[in-house]
Amino acid sequence: MSAKILTVDDSASIRLTTRVTLSNAGYAVTEAVDGLDGLNKLKAGEYDLVVTDLNMPNMDGLTMIRELRKLPAHTGVPVIFLTTESDGEIKAQAKAAGATGWLTKPFDPESLVKIAKKVLGK
């Protein structure tokens, strides 16, 4: 069975690009429109990888990942940030909160697939 990936972004065009890129690479992709939606979907299902934006309405990506790590069943799921930010402080916060990788927008779809492959080990 193909690995399941959740993409969380408030931008429909970025979600589309992420979904198309990853599903073409053979992954099963689910979309969430902000941190809150993302968290709810993560609670409801099993995901092998989360690709998330940082700045989003309702709940930002950093809060989402901190909330996620509080849930015993989801401490291990890898999280990649996909964001326009490259500020060191925020990156450090993200790493501390348990982020696995960082990709800066605009991103090269190929890099996204490579990171996903690396993180998922296949």
Partner 1 sequence: MNNPDPISVFRTEAAELLEQIESGLLDLTRSLEDRDQIDAVFRGLHTLKGSGAMFGFEALAAFTHHCETAFDRVRKGDVPATHELVSAVLSAQDHMRALLETPNGDHDAMSAALLDNLHRAVNGAGSPTPITTVIATNPVVEKAGGLREWRIRFSLPANAMANGTNPLGLLDEMRDLGDCRIIADTTKVPELATLDPRGIHLAWDVTLKTEKPRSDIEDVFIFVMDDMALEIMEVAVDPPATALVDMPVAKAVVVTEREAPAVQAANDSKQAKSAENVRVPAERLDEMMDRVGELVIAQSRLTQLAGTAADLGLRSVSEEIERLSGELRDTMMVLRMMPVASLFSRFRRLVHDLSRETGKEIELITEGESTEVDKTVIDRLADPLVHLVRNSIDHGLEQPEERLAAGKEAKGKVILSAHQTGGEVIITIKDDGRGINRERVRAKAEASGIIQPGATLTDQDLLQLIFQPGFSTAQTVTNLSGRGVGMDVVKKTVEALRGTIDITSKPGEGSTVALRIPLTLAIIEGLLVRVGQGCYVIPLSAVEECLELSLEDDLRSRGRSFISLRDSLVPFLRLRELFRTGTQPDPHQKVVVISTGSERVGLVVDQIIGDHQTVIKSMSKLHHDVVTFSGATILGDGSVALILDVTHLVAAGQQQEAQLRAAG
Distance in angstroms (rounded) separating the CA atoms of residues 105 and 67: 24
Residue 46 found at the interface with partner 1 (CB under 8 A): no
Residue 120 found at the interface with partner 1 (CB under 8 A): no
Where do runs of H (alpha helix) occur along the chain?
12-24, 35-44, 61-69, 88-97, 109-120
Shortest CB 20 distance to partner 1, Å: 5
Per CB under 8 A, the list member of 26, 114, 120, 122 interacting with partner 1 is 114
Q: Residue 69 or residue 91: which is nearer to partner 1 going by CB?
A: 91
Q: Residue 9 or residue 67: which is nearer to partner 1 going by CB?
A: 9
Distance in angstroms (rounded) separating the CA atoms of residues 35 and 93: 17
